[in-house]
Structure 1
Amino acid sequence: MTHALGFTEEDLRRLAGTRSFERGLGYRSAVSRVEIGDETITATVDGTDAYEVELTEDEDSGLTGWCDCPFGQEGNFCKHCVAVGLAVLQEAGSVPRQRSAAASRTRLLDGWLESRTREELLALVREQLSDDRDLRRRLELRAAAAGEDTGIVRERVLSLLDTRPFARCGYVEYADTHAYHRQAAEALTALRALTASGRSAAAVEVAREALRVLGRTYGEIDDSDGLIAGVASGLAEAHLEACRTARPDPVETAEWLVPYLLDEVNDAAGIDLVDYREVLGGPGLARARARVVAAWRANPKGWAEKHLLERLLKADGDGVDALVEVHASDLAPNGHTHLVIARALEAAGRAGEALEWAERGLREAVSEGGPDSDLVAFVCERHERAGRLPAVVAVRRNLLRARPSLAAYQHLRKAARTAGTWDGAERADALDVLRAAGRPGKGRACNGSVLVDALMDDNDLASAWQAATDGHADQRQWRALADLIRDRQPADALTVYLRSIEPLREQTGDRAYERLTELLLSARACHRALGTEDDFSTYVAALRAGQKRKRKLMALLDRHGL
């Protein structure tokens, strides 16, 4: 199927960004050797060097570009990609014809190959092998995997995973990762070929060595695109596939698997012990459990040990009590572990115990930030489902008293309104808690009081103004209050704005000038509401006279008619 271009000049600008797009405009004449296929466009762009560019059109992901220039190899849609895209757009009318021609050439080649004799095809392949070293190496590996010499396969697989030819000062940079990935991916082909050819036992051993080698070097590779993690995951899948076919000794498999999983350098492979349940069977699971439990008891706070024990219990079909024991040995100070236990118990049909653990987490939380928000939500949702609305209010009330904050006040208000108990003593008591929390401190690092924020959030502006007058507001809150009352109490709001302007007279810089202008605009609105615009004009004239050397400020005031 042939089709026209599925991208526009705007797509190129969006992908590249303005700067790269504009640079690409100057490279259109440097584009050569354009070849248009069904979904890909390849070309060469002459810049500092001759760069190879490939544009790909996909119905799902749209247009993507790759270039072997340094900027392009970092994953960017570079100026060279832009140049190729623009060059092709100039000839968009001929694209369907070129794609039709490309499809015809493919059909012609397929037909010609199918008409060759075995001897002619062999001669053709040998000719290509003599000119293409990489192709020869890949086919040698496939031949070894299909033959009897496992040693050759092992040696080739490990050499394919060797990062040294791609490393600079011991590290594989992003620009070299794609080339390394193309080579390393051949190891997967060889391993799968071993299993497919009836030598799955050999594939098990080679896969173990390959996983060990890649795990040891993975930290020395810039794998920002996740390509090498994909190879590691593929090696893990090949190992499991080989194990399922070869049925290696389950105890020996457990002896290899547990230490491998406990070593955090092997995380990239993503092996899950649960997937090996059938391979390990009863004897293997028993041995794995003994080793994992011993490792966990030696290091109960270790993430790897704890996670592996959880997975083992699932693979072993053990009860939830064993899982609770694991988590209960190392409870997080914010109650998150209590939540993990509660969810496990609830999933096992033990809702009562689940709620007990969750409520215990609320009581025992000692972290500075308070209990885990998901834990709080868990407890409140369970009480709400059961119609225990006063219990939800009690939880939210206790949290506000322990750590007064606007969020805690809002949660309590919502819960109490649902329970029908907000207007009255509940709200009054909550405000008393916030009032007792104290007044704002001095200095830029200090925030205003929660009391004023809560009253403004309630839209109780009269009480918020009184609280501010009593010393509970900082400058931010005073200005926020002034904005809220300006239409109804312009005189009070004007006092706040003028007071805020004074310290800005001594400051310089764009931010200070913008803030001063905003306050003057607000003050002008108050004067208009009061009918005292002449007073405002006099005030601004005096201010401008004192600030006339600040040219940026003067320009900003002019722009706003001040």
Structure 2
Amino acid sequence: MDGLTEAKLKTLAGARSFERGVGYLAAVSGIEVGEDRIRASVRGTERYTVELVLGGRAGPAGECDCPYGQEGNFCKHLVALGLAVIARQDDLPHLRKTARERKKDLDAWLSSLSAGELLALVRDEIAVDRNVRRRLESRAAGARGDLAAIRSHLHELLDTGPFARYGYVEYADARAYAEQAGQAVSVIRSLTGPDRVADAVVLAREAIELLAGVVESVDDSDGWLVGIGSDLADAHRDACRAARPDPEELAHWLITHTLDDAADLTGIDPLDYEDLLGAQGMSALRRRAVEAWEANRTGWAEKHLMQRLAKAGRDIDTVIAVHAADLAPNGHTHLVIARELETAGRPDEALEWAERGIRDSENLAEVDTALVDHLCDRYTQADRTADAVTLRRDHFTARRTLLTYRQLRAAAHLTDSWPTEREGALSLLRTAAERKGHDDSRPLVDALLDDKDTAAAWQAATEFGAHDSQWLTLADQSRTTRPADALAVYRRLIEPLLHQTGNDVYEQLTSLLLSMRECHRNLNTPDDFTTYATALRATQKRKRNLMRLMDEHGL
């Protein structure tokens, strides 16, 4: 059995796919045993065709037309067929022998038929199998050199009409359409003669255009059409290698295609054609790319193409020019340019662009924080720590958040200027809190808490107000030094929770009660807590999960 075992299946598929494949064993049907291959159908989301190859040098392998299998993976459907084959291990030698005999008998019978009988047989097959008919029609058109007939056939293969309901190919019909459309690749690849490869180039491009034209009218959730687009791209590239089209004409088509929506379908990369384009074609490619970009400097596809071509040619100045033509107002593009210049070994210009990003920003509160971080890092590395502090101060002044406060503190510590900077920063936060009240007091309280200045934070919260989360932090940090004040906070935070239900609420309540108990202990009033907890139990006794949590914590 060529070494097929459950262990080998698990190695091929991985533990997860193997376990899932076990559940599909009953879905295997129509097993056909050949000399080296075993085919079957497996019913999954839909019916899939599965084939195991047992006679290869590298050991067992397989193919499945499910989406996961089409990516080259040994899927759960292949596992299911493999398990079915293992279960029929004793029958395999006989079944293979029978398959060889059938093949031998078929060859002998076909060889015995006259030309007329063979022709009649082919005509019968054409009458009942349209796929056979189409393949033979393509061969016939190719043999005649009938380009018009081949083109007509391609249009027929890529026509969604027979599969579309109300002008749209729904998910249930998408696979059938894809199976038909996929034959277009075989049609193009059949044009292999030296006098036909130029036609193959033309027809591949037409097929790509036709397929791109129907994508929006097909539910391609499983990615069938993307796979066909990729196959058409491969056929086009191979045809170009054989036909060696005019480099300038090829460059023009590549640029046009890359900037078209069809590029997402095929994934064609102009740089993959560099060996075919040569110096003349690459020059034309760059020239046309520049023309397209100059006509639409803000177009994503145009910019991306220009950047790739410039990087491939190590033309950093062109890369910079492309970025500079569409600068983001928040300084992000300046940062991208600075990094490109640093990579190119031009640090002075990189620093200039980073600084320009700060200068050009209309509002420092909206500037890309990564640009500020980058520039401060460069200032520090260049021993310009005072400039780093200045930038951090300006950024904090514009944004006034806990993060910008921390960053200013870290920078100021390097210059031993934090006491002065802190005084100015806190003054700014106090002024904002005085003007706008509760909502603008949060940064002030957060900053004081982050400085571990609990007394000042408590004073600010009392004077300007604070959010409950800040009050809780203040209470947690003050249970020992000011237990009475902390106790008042806990009792206030508990009150609204008593009217709510849910395990999260009960856990919060329990945590607050534990903190209250500690405060009473610090105040030497444990009996007061016992009285409070007993009263709370009486009013909350229907909340069994809360009672359980309180019991677990001895409350």
TM-score (norm 1): 0.73
| Shift in CA distance, 251/67, structure 1 to aligned 2, threshold 3 Å | closer
| Shift in CA distance, 423/267, structure 1 to aligned 2, threshold 3 Å | same
Aligned equivalent of 1:120: 110
Q: Counterpart of 1:451 in structure 2: which amino acid? A: L
Aligned equivalent of 2:250: 253
Indicate which of 472, 478, 483 corresponds to 2:471.
478
Give the Cα–Cα distance (whole angstroms) in 2 for the partners of residues 495 and 201 of structure 1.
87
* Pairwise CA distance, 1:202: 0.8
Question: What's the CA shift string for 1:169-214, capped at 9, x where partnerless?
Answer: 3334444444443333332333334257652211111111112112
Give the Cα–Cα distance (whole angstroms) in 2 for the partners of residues 455 and 14 of structure 1.
56
Indicate which of 168, 171, 177 corresponds to 1:171.
168
More deviation, 220-229/398-407: 220-229
Indicate which of 235, 238, 248 corresponds to 1:238.
235
* Aligned partner of residue 248 in structure 1, secondary structure: coil
1:136-155 residue pairs with structure 2 within 5 A? 137-138=134-135, 141=138, 148-155=145-152
Percentage of matched positions with identical amino acids: 44
Aligned equivalent of 1:451: 444
Indicate which of 393, 396, 400 corresponds to 2:396.
400
Aligned equivalent of 1:329: 325
The reply on whether 1:302 has 2:299 as its aligned counterpart is yes
Give the Cα–Cα distance (whole angstroms) in 2 for the partners of residues 524 and 500 of structure 1.
15
Aligned equivalent of 2:73: none
Aligned equivalent of 1:219: 216
Work out whether residues 341 and 354 of structure 1, in 8 Å CA contact, stay in contact via their aligned partners in 2: yes
Give the Cα–Cα distance (whole angstroms) in 2 for the partners of residues 488 and 40 of structure 1.
80
Q: Which has the larger radius of gyration?
A: 2
The reply on whether 1:364 has 2:360 as its aligned counterpart is yes
| Shift in CA distance, 145/397, structure 1 to aligned 2, threshold 3 Å | farther
* Aligned partner of residue 438 in structure 1, secondary structure: helix
Work out whether residues 178 and 227 of structure 1, in 8 Å CA contact, stay in contact via their aligned partners in 2: yes
| Shift in CA distance, 12/285, structure 1 to aligned 2, threshold 3 Å | closer
TM-score (norm 2): 0.74
Aligned equivalent of 1:560: 550
Give the Cα–Cα distance (whole angstroms) in 1 for the partners of residues 369 and 112 of structure 2.
68
| Shift in CA distance, 118/51, structure 1 to aligned 2, threshold 3 Å | closer
Give the Cα–Cα distance (whole angstroms) in 2 for the partners of residues 171 and 364 of structure 1.
50
| Shift in CA distance, 296/505, structure 1 to aligned 2, threshold 3 Å | same
Work out whether residues 146 and 194 of structure 1, in 8 Å CA contact, stay in contact via their aligned partners in 2: no
Question: What's the CA shift string for 1:395-414, capped at 9, x where partnerless?
Answer: 43332232222222333444
* Aligned partner of residue 449 in structure 1, secondary structure: helix
Work out whether residues 200 and 246 of structure 1, in 8 Å CA contact, stay in contact via their aligned partners in 2: yes
Give the Cα–Cα distance (whole angstroms) in 2 for the partners of residues 99 and 128 of structure 1.
35
Question: What's the CA shift string for 1:350-387, capped at 9, x where partnerless?
Answer: 22112211221123234686333443444344445545
* Pairwise CA distance, 1:500: 1.5
1:166-205 residue pairs with structure 2 within 5 A? 166-195=163-192, 199-205=196-202
Give the Cα–Cα distance (whole angstroms) in 1 for the partners of residues 102 and 160 of structure 2.
40
* Pairwise CA distance, 1:496: 1.2
Aligned equivalent of 1:98: 88
Give the Cα–Cα distance (whole angstroms) in 2 for the partners of residues 283 and 356 of structure 1.
37
| Shift in CA distance, 363/522, structure 1 to aligned 2, threshold 3 Å | same
| Shift in CA distance, 2/558, structure 1 to aligned 2, threshold 3 Å | closer
Give the Cα–Cα distance (whole angstroms) in 2 for the partners of residues 513 and 442 of structure 1.
32
Q: Counterpart of 1:98 in structure 2: which amino acid? A: R
Work out whether residues 343 and 354 of structure 1, in 8 Å CA contact, stay in contact via their aligned partners in 2: yes
Question: What's the CA shift string for 1:51-95, capped at 9, x where partnerless?
Answer: 6797999x9xxx999989xxx99xxxxxxx89x99x999xx8x97
Q: Counterpart of 2:486 in structure 1: which amino acid? A: A
Question: What's the CA shift string for 1:19-60, capped at 9, x where partnerless?
Answer: xx9xx8xx99x86748699999967679xx996797999x9x
Give the unaligned 5+ runs of structure 2. 70-75
* Aligned partner of residue 263 in structure 1, secondary structure: coil
Give the Cα–Cα distance (whole angstroms) in 2 for the partners of residues 369 and 346 of structure 1.
26
More deviation, 460-469/112-121: 112-121
**RMSD of aligned residue pairs (Cα, Å):** 5.0
| Shift in CA distance, 50/412, structure 1 to aligned 2, threshold 3 Å | closer
Give the Cα–Cα distance (whole angstroms) in 2 for the partners of residues 100 and 373 of structure 1.
69
Give the Cα–Cα distance (whole angstroms) in 2 for the partners of residues 253 and 174 of structure 1.
36
Q: Counterpart of 2:167 in structure 1: which amino acid? A: G
The reply on whether 1:494 has 2:487 as its aligned counterpart is yes
| Shift in CA distance, 67/544, structure 1 to aligned 2, threshold 3 Å | farther
| Shift in CA distance, 510/282, structure 1 to aligned 2, threshold 3 Å | same
Work out whether residues 146 and 197 of structure 1, in 8 Å CA contact, stay in contact via their aligned partners in 2: no
* Pairwise CA distance, 1:485: 4.2
| Shift in CA distance, 319/501, structure 1 to aligned 2, threshold 3 Å | same
Give the Cα–Cα distance (whole angstroms) in 2 for the partners of residues 257 and 284 of structure 1.
10
* Aligned partner of residue 220 in structure 2, secondary structure: coil
Q: Counterpart of 2:196 in structure 1: which amino acid? A: R
How many residues get paired?
Answer: 526
The reply on whether 1:339 has 2:341 as its aligned counterpart is no
Give the Cα–Cα distance (whole angstroms) in 2 for the partners of residues 348 and 13 of structure 1.
49
Q: Counterpart of 2:394 in structure 1: which amino acid? A: N
* Pairwise CA distance, 1:332: 0.6
| Shift in CA distance, 297/455, structure 1 to aligned 2, threshold 3 Å | same
* Pairwise CA distance, 1:110: 5.9
Indicate which of 427, 430, 438 corresponds to 2:433.
438
Question: What's the CA shift string for 1:514-562, capped at 9, x where partnerless?
Answer: 64454334434443555534322322344455667xx5x4653455336
| Shift in CA distance, 362/247, structure 1 to aligned 2, threshold 3 Å | same
